[in-house]
Structure 1
Amino acid sequence: MKEGPYKVFNQRSVIDADFSAGDNFISEEKFAELRGFTAFPGDVLVTTRGTIGRAAILPDNAEVGILHPCLLRVQVEKSKITSSYLCRLIQESHLLKTQLSLMSNSTTIEVIYSETMANLFIPVPPITEQGLIAAFLDDVIRKFGALTNDANESVRLLQERRSALISAAVTGKIDVRGWQPPASVQAPVLEAEAV
C-alpha cells in the first residue's frame, strides 16, 4: 500500500535485483527524518539479516528511496574500486562469503553490520582489470542463467507431456493393452528353482 512518494528498498529488492517491485513507501515527513538512509544510484546494497551477503547495484532509473534496516549501503571510491566489481565480489566470491559468515553475529539468524563490511579483506586489482573481471563474470552468469532457463523449460514440457500421456492412457484415448517396455528397460526374469 503506497503511503507516500518515497520507496523503501528491502532485502527482496536486492535478492531479486528488482528495485521497481514492492509497495513499501514512506511520507515526505518520514523521509525527512530518515534522509541519512537515502540510497543513491550506483550504491552497492548488501543484505544483512538471515540471507547475508547478497548484493545489487541501485540502478540510475531507481525511484528515490531509503534503505530498510536489513540492508547496508556501500559507496565506493571510484578511483580505487568499481561498484560492479565490488558487487560481483560480494555476491560470488568464496573469500568474501567466508569472511562475512565468520564475522556475522549469529545466534539463530546471521547478521552483519557496517563494521563487518569495513573490516573485510578485499582484493583490489587495477581498475581496468576490475572491469574485465566483472564483465567476464556477468557474461558467465548470463550464460548459466540461460542454460538454467532452458533446462527448467524442458522439465516443464516433459512434465506436461507425461501428464497428458498418463491422462490419455487412463481415459482410454490410447490403447496400452499388450504394451511391453523395450528389452533394454525390462527387468531380467529369474527362474525359480524347485526346492
Structure 2
Amino acid sequence: MSRWPALAIRRVFHLVNGGTPTSDPANWDGAVPWATPVDLAFVNGATLSATQRSLTEEGLANGSRAVPAGSLIVSTRAPIGYVAEASRPIAFNQGCRGLVPSHAVDIRFFRYQLSAMSERLAALGQGSTFLELSGGALAGAPVVVPPLSVQSAIADYLDRETARIDSLIAAKKRMVELLTERFWSDVTHRVASRTSTFVPLRRYITRITDGPFGSSLTSSDYADSGARVVRLGNLGLAEFRPGDAAYISCDYYLTLQRHRVRKGDLLIGGLGDNNNHVGRACVAPDLGPAIVKADCYCAHVDDSRATAEFLALYLSSPLGAWGAAWAARGTTRSRINLDIAKDIPVPTIALSAQTEIVAGARRDRARAETLSRRLNSQNTLLQERRQAFVTAAVTGQLDIPEAA
C-alpha cells in the first residue's frame, strides 16, 4: 500500500481521444506527428517526439486530436499499456488516449507510474474481437498522487537509477551482437584463407527449384496439417527456423512435386531484409513431405564436390552476402531470381577442408550461443529488477531520502 493518496486518473488528467483522418492526401505527410501503438512500443516508458506517419493541420482538424508537450499518450488497444511522454504536440489514432494534466504535476513521475501499471491496465481491457481499454476504465484507474516536490524527487532518482540499469542492459545487448559479429568474422577468415578461387554455385548442385508463384499457391490452399511449406521466415543464417509452420494438404502437395524439399537439401533465400541478407541459406531438416514457397530456392548438392552444411555456412556469411550482391549486380539487391542464385560465386575448397571449417564453426557457434543465452538471461533479470524498482519507488515502498 502507498502512503500517499490514490485518485482516479480523471481527477489528475483530462482524457483526450484520438482518431484517424480519411486517406485524402491533403490530410497526410504534414508537420504534425501522429502516433499509433506501434510508435509507443518503440519508446515505451520514455519520451516520444517522432512517429512513423504525420498529419497536416487539415488532417488534424478533420479526423484526429493532439495533446501538448508534457502530456502522456497511452495505448488502449493492440496491445494495452504502452505509455510515452509527448515532448512536442503530438496527435494519435483511436488505439491511444491522451492524458493532459489538469493541474501542476511532474509528468515524469506519472510516466513512470503508468509504465509500472501496464499489466493492471491490460487486465481492465474488454472485447471479444480484440481487447480494448475503454475511456471510462482508464479514467477510473487509480494513481497515487504525492506532493509535487516528492513527485520531482522520485522522478529525479528514477531518471538516474533507470539510466544506470538501461546502460547495463544496452552493454549486454551489444556483447551479444559482438559475439555474433565475431562468429561470422571467423567464418569469413577461415573460408578466405583456404582459397582465392571461386566458381558459380551451379557447379556444386545437381538440381535447383523455386517455389510456386501466383495462383499456384495462395492463402486459401493452406491447411492445419499435411505437407510442410518452407517460407522465407524459416531460412535463418545457416540455421533452419522451425517456427511459423505452414502446411498444404497432401493431395495438393502431390501436384507440386517440382518444388519438393528433401532432408539435406540446401535452402536459399531469394529475398532479403535488414536482418537476413538475400542469398542466405540453411540445410533442410527432416520435414517429411515439404515444398518451398515463392522466393525460396531448394538445391540438391553434389556431395562429391561439396557439403550442404558448408555451402549454407558460406552463403550466410558476410563473404556469401558479398557474393550474392555481386551476382545480383544491376538488379534490385534485396531480391534475386533463380538464374542469379545459380551464379553466386562459391569458393573452391576441398571436401576435407569444408568439413573442418563446418566442425570449427559448430564449436564456435555453440560457445557463442551459450554466452548469448547467459547474457540474455541477465538482461531479463535486469528488466524485471527495473520494473520492480520503478513500482516500489512510485508507490512509496522504496526509501528515497530526497522524497522523505
Deviation at 1:177, TM superposition (A): 1.5
Instruction: Quote the residue 2:247 is aligned against.
Output: 24
Letter of the structure 2 residue corresponding to residue 78 of structure 1: D
Deviation at 1:67, TM superposition (A): 0.8
Q: Which runs of 5+ in 1 are unaligned?
A: 180-195
Instruction: Quote the residue 1:62 is aligned against.
Output: 287
Asked whether the equivalents of residues 19 and 58 of structure 1 are also in contact (C-alpha less than 8 Å), the reply is: no
* Aligned with residue 168 of structure 1, among 392, 397, 402: 392
Q: Distance in 1 between matches of 2:224 and 2:397?
A: 56
Instruction: Quote the residue 2:168 is aligned against.
Output: none
Instruction: Quote the residue 2:381 is aligned against.
Output: 157
* Aligned positions of 1:5-16 closer than 5 A: 5-15=226-236
Deviation at 1:78, TM superposition (A): 0.5
Matching of residue 71 in structure 1 with residue 296 in structure 2 = yes
Asked whether the equivalents of residues 327 and 341 of structure 2 are also in contact (C-alpha less than 8 Å), the reply is: no
Letter of the structure 2 residue corresponding to residue 31 of structure 1: Y
Instruction: Quote the residue 1:186 is aligned against.
Output: none
Deviation at 1:3, TM superposition (A): 5.8
Q: TM-score w.r.t. structure 1 length?
A: 0.79
Q: Distance in 2 between matches of 1:63 and 1:128?
A: 30
State how many pairs are aligned. 175
Q: Secondary structure at the match of 1:24?
A: strand
* Aligned with residue 110 of structure 1, among 334, 340, 344: 334
Q: Distance in 1 between matches of 2:253 and 2:391?
A: 57
> Structure 1 residues 157 and 17 mapped into 2: Cα distance closer, same or farther (>3 Å)?
same
Q: Distance in 2 between matches of 1:151 and 1:118?
A: 39
Instruction: Quote the residue 1:191 is aligned against.
Output: none
* Aligned with residue 91 of structure 1, among 298, 316, 338: 316
Letter of the structure 2 residue corresponding to residue 168 of structure 1: A
Instruction: Quote the residue 1:193 is aligned against.
Output: none
Letter of the structure 2 residue corresponding to residue 22 of structure 1: A
CA offsets 1:83-118 (integer angstroms, 9 cap, x no match)? 1111101112x33211212333644x7211222232
Deviation at 1:43, TM superposition (A): 0.2
Instruction: Quote the residue 2:271 is aligned against.
Output: 49
Instruction: Quote the residue 1:128 is aligned against.
Output: 352
Q: Secondary structure at the match of 2:388?
A: helix
Instruction: Quote the residue 2:193 is aligned against.
Output: none
CA offsets 1:133-177 (integer angstroms, 9 cap, x no match)? 011112212222222222121112112112212221222223211
* Aligned with residue 401 of structure 2, among 174, 177, 182: 177
Deviation at 1:32, TM superposition (A): 2.9
Asked whether the equivalents of residues 8 and 26 of structure 1 are also in contact (C-alpha less than 8 Å), the reply is: no
Q: TM-score w.r.t. structure 2 length?
A: 0.40
Compute the RMSD of aligned alpha carbons.
Answer: 2.2
Q: Distance in 1 between matches of 2:350 and 2:340?
A: 24
Q: Distance in 1 between matches of 2:388 and 2:224?
A: 47
Identity %: 21
Letter of the structure 2 residue corresponding to residue 75 of structure 1: H
> Structure 1 residues 148 and 4 mapped into 2: Cα distance closer, same or farther (>3 Å)?
closer
Q: Distance in 1 between matches of 2:345 and 2:398?
A: 65
Greater per-residue strand proportion: 2
Q: Distance in 2 between matches of 1:38 and 1:13?
A: 15
Asked whether the equivalents of residues 11 and 47 of structure 1 are also in contact (C-alpha less than 8 Å), the reply is: yes
Deviation at 1:120, TM superposition (A): 2.3
